[in-house]
């Protein structure tokens, strides 16, 4: 979801129309580089879950999993949120 502040703003926006948003933060704290008001607002929103530093990826074909450092991850999938049920 972009850089720190834009990621926080996007997470809050998407959380208005879905049950759960997973916000991945590179580093040890989302407060590093994110405005205090966004950190506070995200912290008070039960629909946003914040994860730090690493990702666990699963290959859907082989079912193998691996842990990857999140220090250089960028994902952009479409321009409009799509909610899978």
Could you read off the pLDDT of 11-54 as tens digits, one per residue? Answer: 899 899 888 888 877 667 777 778 999 999 999 999 998 887 77
Q: Is residue 19 part of a domain?
A: yes
Q: Is residue 84 part of a domain?
A: no
* Under 8 Å between Cβ of 8 and 39: yes
* Under 8 Å between Cβ of 70 and 54: yes
Count how many domains the chain has: 1
Q: Is residue 28 part of a domain?
A: yes
CA distance 24 to 30: 9
Instruction: State residue 58 phi and psi, 5-degree precision.
Output: -125, 130
Length of the chain: 85
> What is the domain range of residue 33?
4-69
Q: Is residue 76 part of a domain?
A: no
For residue 1, name the pLDDT band (cuts at 50, 70, 90).
Answer: very low
Q: How confident is the model at residue 12, as a pLDDT?
A: 93
Q: Is residue 29 part of a domain?
A: yes
Q: Is residue 10 part of a domain?
A: yes
């Amino acid at each position: 979801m972009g850089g720190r502040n834009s990621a926080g703003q996007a997470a809050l926006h998407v959380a208005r129309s879905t049950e759960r948003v997973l916000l991945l933060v590179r580093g040890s704290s989302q407060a590093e580089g994110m405005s205090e008001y966004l950190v506070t607002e995200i912290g008070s929103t039960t629909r946003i879950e914040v994860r730090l530093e690493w990702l666990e990826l699963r290959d859907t074909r082989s079912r193998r999993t691996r842990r990857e450092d999140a220090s250089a991850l960028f994902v952009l999938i479409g321009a409009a949120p799509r909610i899978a049920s």
